[in-house]
Structure 1
Amino acid sequence: MIGERTPVTCLGVSDLQRARDFYEGTLGFSPGTDMLDQGITYQSGSGTFFVYQSEFAGTNKATAMMFEVPGDAFDAEISALRDKGVEFQTWEAEGTDWTDGVASMADGAFKSVWFADPDGNIINVGSQLPS
């Protein structure tokens, strides 16, 4: 059954080399299977994601991919992203407090950031902090 299979996130991009520069250079992923210059897979934890050439790149205005990190690693992960020049997005959201691009929710129990790849695919890094 399909419910027993691991899903693969798919992100459409307009320029595969520019996407590779971002995912490999900026975010530090190692390339996996190269699909004849039409796309490439990346391993992340126990899952994978596929970046592929698409005329519809970046048209999704919602979060396309999320990474959950342990609470004690969150600040270091965010710092590493900032050091690579990643800029975080903010917006008005009830119950959310923002500090320097980092969202805090549920009285600080959850922290998250959102940013976009070069085509506008929205990526989230979030953490549930230890209580």
Structure 2
Amino acid sequence: MLANRNAMATIAVKDLAAAKKFYEGTLGLTPQQATEEGVLTYQSGTATVVVYVSQFAGTNQATSCTWGVGDEFDKIMQALKARGVVFEHYDMPGMALQGDAHVAGDFKGAWFKDPSGNILHILNQ
């Protein structure tokens, strides 16, 4: 039923102006035409990221959205860092922290937060 349908990330934010600056300016996502007030929609590869205002923004303590960036992982991490992104450091069994990246074998991942405190993730796959 849903296996051949595209999914989208839906992320609650506290401040739409701050979210717009972050998702467009810092992350470089492509904005789509606004269709309703209090909602921003972005194209990210073939996926859609929807950002909307909610009183519950930033309360999720787990990853809200992940981007697989493949071999460009290190380059993208550096670009994000240059734009002011601060990476989170977690104690994750089986993973070693190398700089700001969590590494296990061939896997590299990095987590960071948006202005509302939502946890976002890039990985090298």
Q: TM-score, normalised on structure 1?
A: 0.90
Counterpart of 2:45 in structure 1 is: 45
- Aligned mate of 1:116, from 102, 113, 116: 113
Q: Which residue of 1 aligns with 2:24?
A: 24
1:26 Cα shift?
Answer: 0.9
User: What whole-Å deviation, never above 9, does each CA across 1:20-66 have from its counterpart, x for those lacking one?
Assistant: 01001111112113133310110011111100011110111000100
TM-score, length of structure 2 as denominator length: 0.95
Match of 2:81 in 1: 82
Unaligned runs of 5+ in 2: none
Q: Which residue of 2 aligns with 1:97?
A: 96
Unaligned runs of 5+ in 1: none
Once the two structures are TM-superposed, the CA of residue 98 in structure 1 deviates from its matched residue by 0.5
Residue 65 of structure 2 corresponds to which residue in structure 1? 65
**Coordinate RMSD, CA, aligned:** 1.1
Which consecutive aligned stretches of 4+ in structure 1 deviate over 4 angstroms post-superposition? none
Aligned length: 125
Question: Is the 8 Å Cα contact of residues 30 and 44 (structure 2) preserved in structure 1?
Answer: no
Find the aligned partners of 2:19 and 2:100 in 1 and give their Cα distance: 23
User: Helix, strand or coil: the match of 1:76?
Assistant: helix
Shift of 1:5: 1.2
CA shift in 2, pair 1:35/1:55, >3 Å: farther
Tell me the CA shift for residue 94 of structure 1. Answer: 1.2
Task: Give the distance between the partners of 2:43 and 2:73, measured in 1 at CA.
Answer: 20
